[in-house]
Structure 1
Amino acid sequence: MIIKILGSGCSNCKKLEANAKEAVEKANVDAEIVKVQDIKDIMAYGVMRTPAIVVNEKVKMYGKVSSVDEIVKFIQDER
């Protein structure tokens, strides 16, 4: 499973990345977390507001920091 954090590296992006790492541990899955910071790559997902989270190439949330529990649900939906 690949989880992508889309954003410029701002504090909200870093918080989302930390929440994603915690969610991966909580869900007990083997996942790679990738940061995507290039604006062209972010826009390719149709995301206009960051941070955003993408699980297995599906945009799950954008424009806010998802909670650990929300991310666990995103992970479970993609299993």
Structure 2
Amino acid sequence: MKDVKVLGPGCKRCQATEDMVKAEAARLGLKVQVEKVTDYAAIAGYGVMSTPGIVIDGKVVHAGGLPKSADVAKWLAA
């Protein structure tokens, strides 16, 4: 099971990112645990200054702007 954190204040882009992660995981048949992190101090703790951000198994894989579905699938499959 992959541990995924979506970093952001809860804006539309952050919600779209969370939905995209869940959709790509389902498409790939992967089990993921998705957690939303909205605390700015916690987000900054990952070194992310622009949101949304994605952390997979403790590693920041994306920060700032809406990611592409293909990239999300690649990150989840790795």
Question: TM-score if structure 2 supplies the norm length?
Answer: 0.94
Distance 1:27 1:41 in 2: 29
What count of residue pairs does the alignment treat as equivalent? 77
Calculate the TM-score normalised by the size of structure 1. 0.93
**Equivalent residue for 1:3?**
4
Contact 1:22 1:68 in 2 (8 A): no
Q: CA deviation digits over 1:8-50, x for unaligned, max 9?
A: 0001001101101101101111110100000011000000000
Deviation at 1:62, TM superposition (A): 0.5
- Percentage of pairs with the same residue: 31
Query: What aligned pairs does 1:1-79 form with structure 2 within 5 A after superposition?
Result: 1-77=2-78
Q: Matches of 2:25 and 2:67 in 1, distance apart?
A: 13
Conserved in 2, the CA contact under 8 Å of 1:50 and 1:63? yes
Question: Whole-Å Cα distance in 2 between the matches of residues 27 and 33 of structure 1?
Answer: 15
Unaligned 5+ segments in structure 1 are: none
Distance of 1:9 and 1:38 partners within structure 2 = 10
The answer as to whether partners of 1:5 and 1:36 remain within 8 angstroms in 2 is: yes
1:68 Cα deviation (Å)?
A: 2.0
RMSD: 0.8
